[in-house]
Every structure is written in structure tokens, then in C-alpha cells.
Chain A
């Protein structure tokens, strides 16, 4: 069974540039999460979906970050006008079913550096 796939693995930007991250969750998992992990910190939840619906995006900086999961499968996280403070690893995770306390399965992440 394929795991969670993310791309790209790395991204380097100048401040003000835009970037998109892509995630393909495990087949059949209805819940998808995006986490931000600054260096030497634990992952911090940005947003999560059940199928195509956003369940909680309260931690997503809405002025510059956006996330979609249009068909309830793959997802894209986009940062408009990146700042140096956005430098972090962006992790995508999926779980089988919302509300079932299932294990989260993580991709390898996208390491973003904003110069």
C-alpha cells in the first residue's frame, strides 16, 4: 500500500514569492491534515479536511495561506507572498476516518526555506 506522497521535497524562495505544496494521501483515507513544523519544534496543525470539506482552518494564516482538496483526494497548500517566518517543513498526513481517533500517517514533508 502506498503511503502519503508529498512534493516537492524542497523549495527555496525569496520573500514575496508564492509556492504550492502537493499531497496525495493514502487511498481510502477521508481525513487529510496539513502541519507546519519549524526547525526544532513539533508539528503544528494548520488545517484539516474531511473529504473535500474544510473542518478546521482556524490556525491557517488566511491572508497568505490557502488549502484545497477539491475532489476529496489530493490536496494543495499554497503560500502567497512568502515571509522568512514561513521557513519550516510542511507535513501532510491522512487518517482513515474523521472522528475515529485513527493513527495519522505522514508524508516525508516539503522543506521550505524563505530567504
Chain B
């Protein structure tokens, strides 16, 4: 059973400072990773998808994947107060790409 854990649970940064979020997973065959953002009382929006080791950048959002260490991270460059939200890591494996397992989320607050 895939386990996905995120850290920290909450994070406060000042506007313009880099924000870094972490996600660890338990299934070494996982090959499909996405970061979603969830604003209060709204659905999830996908920020970046990554499928192989290394780095993937989408605007101010960069994901880093290291499958040997069972770790994927998200870095937000120049965060704005509007980036304040819950960030969710989503993982699935090659054996079942449609069974997506989410972490518990990191609540990010960006102070002006």
C-alpha cells in the first residue's frame, strides 16, 4: 500500500523568499508525480508534473524528483500572498497509473 507523506505540515514565508516543500513515497516503482494546489473551499489545480529523475519547471514552480531516495520536492520562486494555499503531492505507480495517492498536504502562508 503506497504511503505518501509531506513535510512540513505548515510553512510561513515572506513574499519573495523561496518556499520549499517535501514529499516522500514508499513504492519504489512509482513513476508519476504531480503537485497540486488547493485554495480554501476550492478544487485542486495541477502545478507541475514530473515522470523522471531530475528537475521540471513550470513558471515559478519547480519539482525535483529523486526516485532512489523516494523523494520529490516543490520549490516556489518569488511566492506571492496569492500562493497561500494547501499544496498536495500526488503519486502513482506504473502498475496502476490511475490509482493516485495523495499526501496530507503542506499549508503555505505567504506574508506580504
Where the two chains meet, the residues of A that have a C-beta atom closer than 8 Å to any C-beta of B are 3-4, 31, 33, 35, 40-45, 48, 55-56, 91, 93, 95, 98-101, 103-109, 111
**When A and B form their complex, which 4 residue pairs have the shortest distance between CB atoms, in order from nearest?**
A42-B102, A106-B43, A101-B97, A106-B44
Contact A108/B98 with A42-B88, A42-B103 known, Cβ cut-off 8 Å: no
Identify whether the interface residues of B are mostly helix, strand, loop, or mixed: strand
B41 within 8 A of A: yes
Contact between B99 and A56, CB atoms less than 8 A apart? yes
Contact between B97 and A108, CB atoms less than 8 A apart? no
Contact between B43 and A41, CB atoms less than 8 A apart? no
Q: Which chain A residues lie closer than 8 Å to B98 at the CB level?
A: 31, 33, 48, 55-56, 95, 98-99
Partner of A99, one of B6, B34, B97: B97
